[in-house]
Amino acid sequence: MHEGDYLVIALEAGRFALPTATVAGVVEVAELPFLPGRSGFVTGMISFRNEPVTVIELAGALGDFSARPVAAHKVIVLREKGRALGVDIGDSEISFHWNTETGKVTGERGLFTSGRIYDSENAIDIIDWTALFNETTRILSADDGKKSPHSR
């Protein structure tokens, strides 16, 4: 895998990409263990290679709060610089977008996106998982009593 290679997630709200260099693995779980103090888009914890990983619901983090039941949870585990985060995509499909297929890449930013890839099909928003990690940490912080505008 090279720089510019992405794992692409097809959500109802559109297609979203994560750099493959940050993907440590993809696991499927029937349900996520309850997380005390759960709020916002933080949904639970999993054990990945014997380490606890906080899991967030990607659709909720991106503003889609419509609850839809899923039979299983597909969790993409991201890891970089000692940080880990699980991204629950429910039963959404994943594919890959290789650097050689990449059309124009722009720096169009959103709340949790860092750019956009324009390919032959349509736009793919690049997820800023570091921003998601930082917001997740803030939500879970016992020291911070403030509610984020991004919390449910």
Record the pTM.
0.84
CA angle 49, 138, 89 (to 5 degrees): 50
- Record the tokens describing residue 101, joined without a space: 């297929």
C-alpha separations of 102 from 16, 17, 119, 120, 127 in Å: 14, 12, 6, 9, 16
More confident residue, 106 or 19: 19
CB 58 within 8 A of CB 73: no
Distance CA 55, CA 116 (A): 24
- Record the tokens describing residue 107, joined without a space: 């720096």
Q: Which of 89, 69, 98, 101 is nearest to 129 (CA)?
A: 89
pLDDT, residue 71, reads: 75
Distance CA 89, CA 107 (A): 24
Distance CA 134, CA 132 (A): 5
Phi, psi of 71 (to 5 degrees): -75, -30
Residue with tokens 């921003």: 131
Condensed to tens digits (0 to 9), the pLDDT of residues 56-110 reads 999 999 988 676 667 788 999 999 999 999 999 999 999 998 876 667 888 888 8
Domains of the chain plus CATH, in order, are 6-140 (2.40.50.180)
Q: What is the mean pLDDT of residues 111-120?
A: 88
Condensed to tens digits (0 to 9), the pLDDT of residues 41-58 reads 998 999 999 999 999 999
